[in-house]
Amino acid sequence: MKPRSTAVPIASDLAPAYAGLELLSTAVLVIDAEGRVRWVNQAAEAMLDLSRRIVQGQLARGLFAEPRVIDGLLVESSAGAFGMRRQAMLLRRPLREPLQVQVIATALYLDETPLLLELSAIEQQLKLSREERQLDLSEASRRLMRNLAHEIKNPLGGIRGAAQLLETELRTREEREYTGVIIAEADRLQTLVDRVLASHRAPRVVADLNIHEVCERVRSVIMAEYPNGLLIERDYDASVPELRGDREQLIQALLNVVRNAAQALQARIASGDACVQLRTRVAQQVTMIRRPCRLALDLRVIDNGPGIPEELKERVFDPLVSGREGGSGLGLSLAQEFIHQNGGTIDFESVPGRTDFRILLPLR
């Protein structure tokens, strides 16, 4: 198809008709009978990294590494030969590296604009399903944990009581050391079990809250725990609006993440160049588990520690998974649960020297 020399009518008149598509996090391109892009949504602009002024009017075939596929779809959709098709394609982006995308082509049965393309990055799809899988998994394992904790709690009291009775019968210190071990271990388990159960007992209190107050609370707690050698840098975006959520839950969640960072920084704290950064931003058009979100808070906890060990990466959010001597492995599991309860997601990227936990929470 040869490009036309005259200016292509850009579809500002189409904007009202497609306004609803602006809400999607999937990139949408509407193609006219000549194969030109007539309209794109914001998500498509972001994916192509081009403004719609530039994209609209271009030949759609030029955007892909497989132009013939687009030609074929166009001919067939104009002829009403299919309803919907799916295909993996490579999106060419003039300003950035090409992107593997899943394309869903829908025939619109309109003479002017016969074809609609929906594009989603394949990498993002993979990530989403991993997050969903993890959500299901962690719900199942948390339920198991709760039940187990209940089962352990009662006999534990009995074991401790019996050991105490036995202790009064024992004469030598050596003998009493054994009962001492039983009692100390029973107490340790008791604390663990209480922590598992307590996290599910507190009623949720949802109200408007300022995320920077939450950050400041967490910052002061950690500063008190690590008075020397740890820098907690703030990089707050003052334009972040209030969000609705449970303040105590969010404090606990953030505290767990920041405390992990501080613990991972032990060596750097000793040498005096440990740094944890708390960063807030407003993010637009993000996809949280199972739904797109127009406006979200993007809260980062970034540390310059050694990174999360490779063998733990897939499991750090699972309960009882710990890479620390004496760790309970409950911190991130609980943080994740609280973030989910507040409608958000938590994720991380970690390489030696930089671990970046990203918490997304919906804003109204």
Instruction: Kindly identify the residues of this chain, within the stretch 260-279, that bind Mg ion according to CB under 5 A.
Output: 260
Of 156, 300, 312, 347, the residue at the interface with ligand ADP (CB under 6 A) is: 312
Site mask for ligand ADP (CB under 6 A), range 253-292, x = bound: ---x---xx--x----------------------------
Of 308, 346, 361, 363, the residue at the interface with ligand ADP (CB under 6 A) is: 308
Burial of residue 76 (CB within 10 Å: 0-12, 13-18, 19+) is middle
How far is CA 44 from its chain centroid? 21
Burial of residue 39 (CB within 10 Å: 0-12, 13-18, 19+) is buried
Q: Which residue has the tokens 């929906």?
A: 118
The answer to whether residue 323 forms part of the interface with ligand ADP (CB under 6 A) is yes
Q: Which residue has the tokens 């989603």?
A: 120
In 3D space, the residue among 58, 23, 22, 52 whose CA is nearest the CA of residue 37 turns out to be 58
Q: How far is the CB of 263 from ligand ADP (least distance, A)?
A: 6
Residues paired with residue 119 on neighbouring β-strands, in sequence order: 27, 103
Instruction: Kindly identify the residues of this chain, within the stretch 281-340, that bind Mg ion according to CB under 5 A.
Output: 331
Chain position whose Cβ is nearest to Mg ion: 331
Nearer of residues 107 and 299 to ligand ADP, judged by Cβ: 299
Nearer of residues 264 and 288 to Mg ion, judged by Cβ: 264
Q: What is the CA radius of gyration of the chain?
A: 27
Nearer of residues 319 and 362 to ligand ADP, judged by Cβ: 319
Site mask for ligand ADP (CB under 6 A), range 206-245, x = bound: ----------------------------------------
Of 35, 57, 305, 362, the residue at the interface with ligand ADP (CB under 6 A) is: 305
Give CA–CA dist 346/356, Å, rounded. 11
The answer to whether residue 26 forms part of the interface with ligand ADP (CB under 6 A) is no
Give CA–CA dist 92/106, Å, rounded. 21
CA atoms lying within 13 Å on the CB side of residue 95:
9
- Give the 3-state secondary structure of residue 29: strand
Kindly state the number of chain residues that form the binding site for ligand ADP, as judged by CB under 6 A. Answer: 21
Give CA–CA dist 348/335, Å, rounded. 13
Of 145, 214, 243, 316, the residue at the interface with ligand ADP (CB under 6 A) is: 316
The residue ranges that bind ligand ADP (CB under 6 A) are 256, 260-261, 264, 303, 305, 307-308, 312, 316, 321-324, 327-329, 331-333, 355
